[in-house]
Amino acid sequence: MLLKIEKRPESSHSMVYVTPILALLLTVLTGIVLFKILGVDPIEALKNFFIVPINNQYGATELLVKATPLILCAIGLSVGFRANVWNIGAEGQLTLGAIFGGGVFIYFHDVDSVFLLPIMIVMGAIGGALWGAIPAFLKTRFNANEILTSLMLVYVALLLLSLLVHGSWKDPDGYNFPESRIFSDSATMPILLEGTRLHFGTILALLAALGTWFMLGKTLVGFQIKVIGAAPKAGSYAGFSQKKIVWFCLLFGGAMAGIAGVSEVAGPVGQLLPSISPGYGFTAIIVAFLGRLHPVGIIFAGLLMALTYLGGETAQINLGLPVAVTGVFQGMILFYLLACDVLVNYRFRLARFGKAAS
Amino acid sequence: MNGFEWFIPVILTVITAATPLVFAGIGELVTEKSGVLNLGIEGMMIVGAVAAFITATLTGNYLLAVVVAALSGAFMAFLFGILTLSLMANQVATGLALTLFGIGLSALIGQDFVGEPVQAIAKLNIGGLSDLPVIGPILFGQDPLVYLSFLMVFLVSWFLFKTKAGLILRAVGDSHDAAHSIGYSVIGIRYAAVMFGGAMSGIGGAYLSLAYTPMWAENMTAGRGWIALALIVFATWKPGLVLVGAYMFGGITILQLHAQAAGLDIPSQILSMLPYLATIVVLVVISKDESRIRKHAPACIGKIFHPAA
């Protein structure tokens, strides 16, 4: 007997939805082994990871707080991934969004106006889009690989933020800590639920998901993205401009990540710090794939990945598990998902020797 | 002799900054020549770095540490192979997954070792030769891995262009269907090439945690795996140019150390940006000529191979 992989005549639609669940199951199973190795009762660990963090109202709202930047970044990335535009620099675009949006407050910190926050959000989107425009320009004009350029710009963005908060944007009353002023009320995202950190950014994320769903389903640019992604040649026969799509995907992805950045610093973070994100821009890559590059799927995947952040913290406090377990879990989910995705386009068949070829 | 006083330490730090890039770059070159694009260098390097550091701390045996680093890099690459070669997953996505997974995994296994000191890998000391002025410390006073990195560039170059096995590997990378129909095992050869790349990345990581900065810190590769990827484009898939490129990047990386020592009043963050900005500039300059890239890049790079029954 021999296990053979053969191509399906058509991609399996149901498998597209089955494999994320399969991947999650495999991750949990591997997690049980991992917890055993780390000397923790697996049931207790899984409970602390997936149930304890959200079994009260505050926990549930924290889940939304953490999911917000993940969903925003992933929505932006997913549009690019659909068109084979591999923007992996969301973390940098997020950082530039925080710099541009936060910068508005730094320069107008004594202004008390209802327009301050909207301007910050718009500037955040512009900052992220500008950072996305660099790889777009280099790709369309010089054919430079956007994977590498967008990633290199992450490091540049992080250093730029560090330069600013160590330098001229440092809080004058901050005892020389590398931190900006704390954002005033009119520069802070409105809280949606008293006593929690749930803020307006979550609504922006949901609007972004809805808007993107509409864009992909109902507009010409959405159609072009899907065609170029599925069949680049068909796209060029139809006269779609590959370059325009590259520009669109990187500007859009950058703007989304930029909004995520400003919503973080004007939300839960509350000021500019040398480090404002625990790698949301990178985790968003996993969110985008796990959500099947679909806006609705991304909302669910964003919530799940947010749970791994919360679960990691809870497990650290209650069981003394290292926080790094979160990163391993996140990486593992993507690994298993990519492995299981073979089932979408191929199927396994048991074949007997000799007869197999016939 | 006065004029050379600044020169020797500069060259020595360039060498230490370049060596991890040489290893990672030359390994990935072989992987790419076989037609596989593994974007997970960063993940394989960081796992190699932590594996080497832990082995060196626990056993004090540096040879063993380097071997363990190579094996763990190869193991990571093997996982990449299972996904992309056996299960035909997208190579770009899988490479990203390998990097994210490697960073998480290394943070987990290395958490008890953060901040622990380790002796830097010993430098060669061949009595009189190493004591020679100027060329002594540069040519005869390096640690063994530096010599190994040069040897690997030479060996890879010889293997790829002077041996039959190398020719087969390049054929697999340029036309997997043709290679398959002649009867070569495309998947088997690619597994070997991917795992060689992983082993080299692992050693590159080991160099970081045992020689460049003898310590372990989360995320200590700081994008070097990605710079190594850019190096291959820079080198247009030629081993000798990978070496040249690595030393160029090594030079840019250490610029910040020496600029500060020289009293230049530039913020450290600006200087730290230089390697990343230089990578972008180099990519732009090289990629501008699209036909040149197409001429040198392995034709099947990144393409999935599935033998039609």
Whether residue B230 and residue A326 make contact (CB cut-off 8 A), yes or no, is no
Closest CA to A293 of A258, A249, A327, A263: A249
Interface of A with B in 151-170 (CB under 8 A): 151-156, 159-160, 162-163, 166-167
Distance of CA A355 to the CA centre of its chain: 48
Alpha helices in B34-175 (DSSP H): 41-59, 62-81, 91-110, 127-131, 135-140, 144-162, 164-174
Residues of chain B positioned with their CB less than 8 A from the CB of A328? 101, 104-105, 108
Residues of chain A positioned with their CB less than 8 A from the CB of B102? 331
CA A142 – CA A119 distance, rounded (Å) = 33
Whether residue B284 and residue A346 make contact (CB cut-off 8 A), yes or no, is no
H, E, C per residue of chain A: CEEEEEECCCCCHHHHHHHHHHHHHHHHHHHHHHHHHCCCCHHHHHHHHHCHHHCCHHHHHHHHHHHHHHHHHHHHHHHHHHCCCCCCCHHHHHHHHHHHHHHHHHHCCCCCCCCHHHHHHHHHHHHHHHHHHHHHHHHHHHCCCHHHHHHHHHHHHHHHHHHHHHCCCCCCCCCCCCCCCCCCHHHCCCECCCCCCCEHHHHHHHHHHHHHHHHHHHCHHHHHHHHHHHCHHHHHHCCCCHHHHHHHHHHHHHHHHHHHHHHHHHHHHCCCCCCCCCCHHHHHHHHHHHCCCCHHHHHHHHHHHHHHHHHHHHHHHHHCCCCCHHHHHHHHHHHHHHHHCHHHHEEEEEECCCCCCC
Write out the two tokens for B214: 């003898």
Residue B134 has pLDDT above 70, yes or no: no
Residues of chain B positioned with their CB less than 8 A from the CB of A151? 223, 226
Whether residue A328 and residue B101 make contact (CB cut-off 8 A), yes or no, is yes
CA distance A331 to chain B (A): 4
- Coarse DSSP helix, strand, coil percentages of chain A, rounded to the nearest 5 percent: 70, 5, 25
Q: What are phi and psi of A350, to 5 degrees?
A: -80, 125
> What are the tens digits of pLDDT across the range A285-301?
999 999 999 999 999 99
State ipTM. 0.90
Whether residue B269 and residue A345 make contact (CB cut-off 8 A), yes or no, is no
CA B96 – CA A287 distance, rounded (Å) = 13
CA distance B69 to chain A (A): 19
> What are the tens digits of pLDDT across the range A95-153?
999 999 999 999 999 988 999 999 999 999 999 999 999 999 999 999 999 999 999 99
CA A89 – CA A258 distance, rounded (Å) = 11
The pLDDT value given to residue B1:
45
Which DSSP state fits B215? Answer: S
In angstroms, the first-to-last Cα distance of chain A is 15
Residue B238 has pLDDT above 50, yes or no: yes
Compute the count of residue pairs across chains A and B with CB atoms less than 8 Å apart: 136
Top residue of B32, B96, B305 to mutate, by most chain A CBs within 10 Å, is: B96
Q: Are strands A2-7 and A346-351 parallel, antiparallel or unpaired?
A: antiparallel
Q: Which candidate from A156, A289, A331 shows the least CB-CB separation from B93?
A: A289
The pLDDT value given to residue B259:
75
Mean of pLDDT values over A223-231: 87
Spatial contact of A270 and A19, defined as CB atoms under 8 Å apart: no
Residue A145 at interface with chain B, using a CB cutoff of 8 Å: yes
Whether residue A338 and residue B82 make contact (CB cut-off 8 A), yes or no, is no
Percent with pLDDT over 70 in chain A: 97
Top residue of B41, B249, B283 to mutate, by most chain A CBs within 10 Å, is: B283
Residues of chain A positioned with their CB less than 8 A from the CB of B100? 282-283, 285-286, 327, 330-331, 334
Model's pTM, two decimal places? Answer: 0.91
Interface of A with B in 29-68 (CB under 8 A): none
Pick from A151-165, A187-201, A337-351, B62-76: least confident: A337-351
CA B203 – CA A334 distance, rounded (Å) = 26
Q: Which candidate from A7, A163, A328 shows the least CB-CB separation from B108?
A: A328
> What are the tens digits of pLDDT across the range B16-28?
899 999 999 999 9
The pLDDT value given to residue A358:
37
Residues with Cβ within 8 Å of B178's Cβ and at least 6 positions away in sequence, in order, are B171
Residue B153 has pLDDT above 90, yes or no: yes
CA A349 – CA B107 distance, rounded (Å) = 39
Write out the two tokens for B304: 């999935």
Residue B280 at interface with chain A, using a CB cutoff of 8 Å: yes
Domain spans of chain B? 15-296
> What are the tens digits of pLDDT across the range A177-206?
899 999 999 999 999 998 899 999 999 999
Q: What are phi and psi of B223, to 5 degrees?
A: 85, 5
CA B205 – CA B220 distance, rounded (Å) = 9
The pLDDT value given to residue A241:
86
The CATH class that applies to domain B15-296 reads mainly alpha
CB neighbours of residue B192 within 10 Å: 17
Whether residue A86 and residue B92 make contact (CB cut-off 8 A), yes or no, is yes
3-state secondary structure of A349: strand
